[in-house]
Amino acid sequence: MATPAFLACDWGTTNLRAWLMADDGRVLKSRDFPFGVSQLAPGEAAKRFREEVRPGLVAEHLPAVLCGMIGSTLGWAVADYLPCPASLADLRGDLMEVEGGQARVTIVPGLRCEGLTGAPDVMRGEETQVFGWTRLAPERRRGRWVVCHPGTHAKWVLVEEGRIVRFVTAMTGELFAVLRKHSVLKSDAASDDEPAFDEGVAAAGDGGALASRLFSARSRVVAGDARADTTPSYLSGLLIGAEAAAAPDLLGIAPDAPVALIGEPALCRWYSRALKGRGRLVSIHNGDEAARAGLFALQQEMAA
């Protein structure tokens, strides 16, 4: 059996995914913990890591590399944002060490770039997945690639010659969650009705006038044109469709540029459905695998 070499963690807002990794990049053990940074008290991260994460993966004496919101003001310690364009080597040059027990603990910084409104745009965690994804196939470190990372705050990322050139965030997942739970569109129904999702994608049009398009999720039911239990699916299609229409333009990419979706597989499939409906070529890639590949590459560079 391969020797355990290090502990890789993607420590986000709502949970922590930890993998015990061999020195050849294989996963020896994996475990999820229910304490994302939004559930941590100030100063609690180090204690949890020492008392639960390390013992949980029998990794008390191994170095650890952590990416995600753990490097934010809500996390363990603040790892500043690196400006774009940025490469994996830039990330390597800006890692932050924290006091983490018997072995080295390193936190990966986030990235920032100029946003479309004058305010900067920021990411934390997705950069590690994107760079990891470029490590999974050599051709991804050549030429131009468009990556979309669906989620609460979805990221669209332009990768050129292995560097993240720029990116743009869309609060699509968060809009879906708050509208579905707290607005006039609220509903406990599932969001897996494909025809209603497609109807929502079509209603997204060019992605403009979103506040008006959203009202159609209400009016189609009020006017008797649709069943109320299709509202979450329609809303999901409308919001993802609006993002699929607007985000590529914001990145300045061609209408026929393929999109690599990296993230949670079920959500990636809905994005794929919306993007394919708009004529885009799409591929789907596992987010956990990408995160591990990114953390492994950083660990290797540190060990080199």
Q: Which residues in this chain contact a second copy in the complex, by CB under 8 A? A: 72-73, 81, 112, 115-122, 152-153, 168-172, 174-175, 177-179, 181-184, 202-203, 205-216, 218-220, 222-223, 225-226, 239, 242-243, 246-247, 249-250
Q: Report the relative pairing of strands 82-83 and 64-67 from DSSP bridges.
A: unpaired
The smaller minimum CB distance to a second copy, of residues 92 and 112, is found at: 112
Neighbouring residues of 295: CB distance < 8 A, sequence distance ≥ 6? 8, 9, 10, 19, 21, 65, 67, 108, 128, 132
The smaller minimum CB distance to a second copy, of residues 138 and 224, is found at: 224
Helix (H, G, I), strand (E, B) or coil at 125: coil
Report the Cα 230 to chain-centroid distance in Å.
27
Helix (H, G, I), strand (E, B) or coil at 273: helix
Smallest gap from residue 100 Cβ to a second copy (A): 24
The smaller minimum CB distance to a second copy, of residues 3 and 73, is found at: 73
Cα–Cα distance, 143 to 152 (Å, whole number): 29
Smallest gap from residue 94 Cβ to a second copy (A): 16
The smaller minimum CB distance to a second copy, of residues 80 and 99, is found at: 80
The smaller minimum CB distance to a second copy, of residues 64 and 69, is found at: 69
Q: Report the relative pairing of strands 144-149 and 259-263 from DSSP bridges.
A: parallel
Smallest gap from residue 282 Cβ to a second copy (A): 19
Cα–Cα distance, 233 to 190 (Å, whole number): 7
| Percent helix, percent strand, percent coil in the chain, to nearest 5 | 40, 25, 35
Smallest gap from residue 241 Cβ to a second copy (A): 10
Is the bond preceding 83 in cis, omega lying within 30 degrees of 0? no
Q: Does residue 97 contact residue 65 with C-beta atoms inside 8 Å?
A: no
> What type of residue is 212?
S
List 164's β-bridge partners, or say none: 86, 159
The sign of the CA dihedral 63, 69, 75, 79 is positive
The sign of the CA dihedral 241, 243, 246, 249 is negative
Smallest gap from residue 231 Cβ to a second copy (A): 12
The smaller minimum CB distance to a second copy, of residues 222 and 303, is found at: 222
The smaller minimum CB distance to a second copy, of residues 142 and 215, is found at: 215
Smallest gap from residue 129 Cβ to a second copy (A): 18
Helix (H, G, I), strand (E, B) or coil at 112: strand
Smallest gap from residue 214 Cβ to a second copy (A): 5
Smallest gap from residue 2 Cβ to a second copy (A): 39
The smaller minimum CB distance to a second copy, of residues 73 and 102, is found at: 73
